[in-house]
Amino acid sequence: IGVRLALGGTASRIVREIVRETLRPVSIGTAFGWMAVFIVFIHVLPGRPLNGVAFFGVPFVLVVVAALASWVPAWRAARIDPMAALRDE
């Protein structure tokens, strides 16, 4: 992050890039997991209604937690002076 800031990147853009890079595999994993659960559900419990809270709420919470877990450290690191960060490296 310090190198990106030293090369002229803005803090908001760098934080956005880091969150996007983190959410890409989380979203793909959530989609595959959601599809697997749906396939198992329709074969194990055919004709029964879906539990919307569990079926949609859990993946939503997973993505929100992943977004916060990547945004908070990136935001904190982007506030640091780039030269101080590069000096420590």
Q: What is the pLDDT of residues 11-20, one digit of tens each?
A: 889 899 999 9
d(CA 76, CA 23) in angstroms, rounded, equals 18
Q: What is the pLDDT of residues 55-77, one digit of tens each?
A: 888 889 999 999 999 999 988 88
To the question of pTM greater than 0.85 for the whole model, the response is no
Q: In the chain, what is the straight-line distance between the N-terminal and C-terminal CA atoms, in Å?
A: 12
CA angle 77, 81, 87 (to 5 degrees): 100
